[in-house]
Structure 1
Amino acid sequence: MKTVKNRKRAALGIAGAIALSAMPQAAFADEGGISFWLPGNFGSLAAVPGTPGWSWATVYYHTEVSSAAGARFPRGGRIDLGIGGQGDLAIFGPTYTFAVPGLGAVGSVSLLGFGGRNNASVAASLTGPLGNTINLSRSEALTDIGDVIPQVTLKWNKGVNNIMVYATGDVPVGAYDPVRLANIGIGHGAMDFGGGYTYFDPHSGNEFSGVVGFTYNFKNPDTQYQSGVDFHFDWGASHFFTPNVQLGLVGYVMQQISDDTGPGATLGGFRSRIAGVGPQVGFMFPVGDMQGYLNIKGYKEFAAENRPEGWNTWVTFAISPAPPAPASAKPIVRKY
C-alpha cells in the first residue's frame, strides 16, 4: 500500500515537471522546413494534474535532420534543394499551477522561452520570383534567442483516468530573417489547441498517455507565405519499477492537413508528415523541500514526406513543489 501511494506521489511530481517541458519550438516542416509545433513535446503522464505552486524547468534539445539532395522546400520567394540541419537549444521557463474549484480542475499557466544554436545547409538554391540567385551549396549557423511561448492547461483526475485540455501559441520576437538559412524564431505567429488522456494505475505502476493537437499558422508578414494546419499526436508509455524510476517508450506523428498558401507557395499544397519513436527513462529525487525530476528521451524519425528526417534527444531537468504526504504519514494524535 505504501508503494502505491509513493507511486501516486511520484506521478504528481513528475507530471508537473513534464508539463513544464511540453513546449512548442521550431522544427522542420512547412515553409522553409520550419514549423511551430515540435513533435515530442508531450509524453508520459502528460494529463496528470500537478502540485499547486511555482515550478521551473530547463530542457536541452538536440536534433540532426537531412533530406535527399533533390528534395525541394519553399522559403518565401525561393526554392531550397536538399536541406539539412543541426540544432542545440535550451528551453526554459516558469509554470504556476493552481486549483480551479468551480471546474474541479487543476490549472497551470506557463511563459517559456528558448535560445541556442542552429546550423542549416542547402545542396542548391534556385532563383525564385523575388530574383534570388542560384547557389550550388550554402550553409549558415546562428546563435541567438527564439520566440516567446505562453501556454495554459486544465487537468482533471478521477481514479486512474486523467484528462487535459491546453492552448498555446507563438509570439514571434525571436531572431528571424527571411533571407537566412539558419533562424531561431519562425517569423510568424501561431496558435495550437488540443487535449490529452493519461491512464495511470499506481497499483501496477503502468501508465499510457496520448495528446492530440492542431496548429493554425498565421501568415508570415515578411514572405506572405502561410503554412497549412498541422495535426499532431504525441504519446508515451512507461512502467514505474520503483516509485522514483520509470522506463518506457515515446513516439509522435505529425501530419499537415491543409495546404500552404501565398505567393511563395510555388510547390502547391506541400503537405508534410513525420513520425518518430524511441526510449525514455525518468528519475525523481528531493531538492531541499522541492522535488527534482530528470528525464531523458530520444526519437528516431521515419515516414517523412516533404520534410527532412533524422533523430532528436531531450534532456529535461525540472524542480516543482513536492506532492503532499499521504494521510497515513501524518502523526496520529490520541485524546485520553
Structure 2
Amino acid sequence: MDLIKCDVNVNVSEAVFMPSGFYDENEIVNLGRNYWSFYTIAGLTWLHPTRGHEISFNVGFMSNTENDTTQYQSGDEFHMDYTVAQHFSEEFGIGMTGYYYNQLSSDESPQLERLQQIINAQNQLRQVLGRSALPAVGGFQGESAGIGPIIRYSPKFGGKQVHFIGKWIHEFDVQNRFKGDIGMFSVALDF
C-alpha cells in the first residue's frame, strides 16, 4: 500500500512573548505590547516522498495577559495555518497556503466599561427623542481568513540545501483587524 511510504511529521511548541520593546501609553504606535502572551502551537505535515504530495497545518492558541499601564487585556486567540502543495522534485514545489484567525474572547478594559455607560446614558436620551439607539461597545473580537499561492525553490550550495519560499496571501472576511494582502519571503538552510 502506497500510504505506508508517506512521511508524517508532528511538532508541538510553546512560545512566550515578554513585555519588552519600547512602549509609551501616550504614543499611537508602539514596538512593544507591554504584556505577556503564551502561545501554544501544534503542527502536522503529511508528505508522500515519491509522489510529492504535501498537506500541512498548524493550529495555535495564544493567551494574553493584561497591559498593566492601560489595564487593557486583549482576548485569547486561535489560528490555523495550512498548505497543500505538490513537490515536483527536491528543488521545486508549488501549492496553496492560507490561514483562519479567530479571537475567542472579548477584549476587556475599565475604559470599555466606562464607554458603554456613556452610550447607555445617550441611548436613554435618544429613546426619549424617538431616535435609534447607538450600538453597544463590542468586545472587538477579530476574525479573518486568507488564501494564496506558495512557491519553493531549494537548490544546493556547497552540498547544503537552501530553501527559498515565497507566499502571497489574500485576506477576506476581515472583522476588527487591519485588512490587506500579505507577501512573505523566507530563506532556510539545512545543517
Please report the TM-score for the alignment, with normalisation by the length of structure 2: 0.80
1:279 equivalent among 149, 152, 175: 149
Count, aligned residues = 164
Aligned counterparts of 1:253 and 1:165: Cα–Cα separation in 2: 19
Mapped contact 2:22–2:30 kept (Cα < 8 A): yes
Which structure: greater strand fraction? 1
Which ranges of structure 2 fall in alignment gaps of 5 or more residues? 116-136
SS at match of 1:204: coil
% identity of equivalent residues: 32
**Aligned position for 1:217:** 64
The alignment status of 1:236 with 2:83, answered yes or no, reads yes
**Aligned position for 1:307:** 177
Aligned counterparts of 2:155 and 2:102: Cα–Cα separation in 1: 37
**Amino acid across the alignment from 1:256:** Q
Q: Which has the higher contact order (CA 8 A, sep 6+)?
A: 1
**Aligned position for 1:254:** 101
Query: Where do residues 66-105 of structure 1 align in structure 2 (5 Å cutoff)?
Result: none
Residue 230 of structure 1, CA deviation: 0.5
Mapped contact 2:6–2:49 kept (Cα < 8 A): no
Aligned counterparts of 2:102 and 2:159: Cα–Cα separation in 1: 43
The alignment status of 1:167 with 2:37, answered yes or no, reads no
Residue 228 of structure 1, CA deviation: 0.7
Which ranges of structure 1 fall in alignment gaps of 5 or more residues? 1-157, 322-336
Query: Where do residues 264-275 of structure 1 align in structure 2 (5 Å cutoff)?
Result: 264-265=111-112, 266=115, 267-275=137-145
Query: Where do residues 1-336 of structure 1 align in structure 2 (5 Å cutoff)?
Result: 159-265=6-112, 266=115, 267-321=137-191
Mapped contact 2:24–2:30 kept (Cα < 8 A): yes
Aligned counterparts of 1:162 and 1:290: Cα–Cα separation in 2: 21
Residue 318 of structure 1, CA deviation: 1.9
Q: Which moved more, 1:288-297 or 1:213-222?
A: 288-297
Mapped contact 2:6–2:46 kept (Cα < 8 A): no
